[in-house]
């Protein structure tokens, strides 16, 4: 019997920055998602990675300096496969008529996920639920999960950065 293949779990900037959400429910769920996948990793489009940086760079330098050690270590301790869009992703994104209300970047993210047989995890409420799209939110968390000691300490220090949660998570 062949080993089971893992379905790629994609994340967007909304989920990643959700670990620093001002909304505690969102923060805990997003943090729990990443704690649970520390050993298995995730996939993220290059554009979504850049969106995270764009959000962080909008904060004062001292906040950035407190945030980036956590993010840098997380990207070292956890495999985050960063992938670019293909021509197929672009063509598919333009054909998603049920996503026409979304900005092109979100349609590109969904098309990238679909093309690779993955699932997109997000806290961006603009994505439609149902309809067969592989989009879902993180599981709810009632108690705060913890990263391994050093990473947890860096995470705690990084919480000086808090993003207001709204559709699109801070965009």
Q: What is the pLDDT of residue 168?
A: 53
Domain 9-158 adopts which CATH fold?
Answer: Rossmann fold (3.40.50)
CB 89 within 8 A of CB 111: yes
pLDDT for the residue numbered 6: 57
Determine the pLDDT at residue 126.
Answer: 87
pLDDT given for residue 99 in this prediction: 84
Q: 141: exposed, middle or buried (C-beta count within 10 Å: 0-12, 13-18, 19+)?
A: middle
Residue 21: DSSP 8-state = B
Q: What is the pLDDT of residues 29-77, one digit of tens each?
A: 999 999 999 999 999 999 999 999 999 999 999 999 999 999 999 999 9
* In the chain, domain spans: 9-158
Residue 147 has pLDDT above 90, yes or no: yes
Q: What is the pTM of this model?
A: 0.91
pLDDT of 170 over the 90 cut = no
Q: Residue 146: what pLDDT?
A: 98
Query: pLDDT, tens digit, for every residue of 92-142?
Result: 888 888 888 889 999 999 999 999 999 999 999 888 766 788 999 999 999
8 Å CB contact between 147 and 37: no
| C-beta separation of 163 from 20 below 8 A | yes
User: Token pair for residue 103?
Assistant: 């900005």
pLDDT of residue 133: 86
CB-hemisphere CA count at 13 Å for 93? 18
CA distances from 119 to 69, 93, 133, 166 (A): 28, 16, 8, 22
């Amino acid at each position: 019997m062949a080993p089971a293949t893992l379905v790629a779990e994609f994340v967007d900037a909304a989920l990643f920055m959700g670990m620093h959400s001002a909304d505690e429910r969102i923060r805990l769920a997003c943090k729990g998602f990443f704690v649970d996948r520390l050993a298995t990793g995730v996939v993220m489009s290059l554009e979504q990675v850049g969106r995270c940086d764009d959000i962080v760079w909008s904060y004062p330098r001292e906040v950035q300096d407190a945030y980036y050690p956590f993010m840098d270590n997380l990207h070292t301790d956890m495999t985050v496969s960063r992938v670019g869009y293909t021509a197929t992703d672009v063509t598919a994104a333009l054909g998603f008529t049920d996503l026409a209300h979304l900005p092109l970047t979100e349609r590109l993210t969904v098309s990238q996920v679909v093309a690779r047989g993955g699932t997109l995890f997000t806290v961006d409420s603009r994505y439609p639920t149902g309809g067969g799209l592989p989009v879902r939110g993180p599981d709810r968390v009632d108690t705060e999960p913890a990263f391994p000691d050093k990473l947890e300490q860096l995470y705690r220090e990084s919480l000086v950065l808090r993003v207001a949660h709204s559709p699109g998570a801070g965009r």
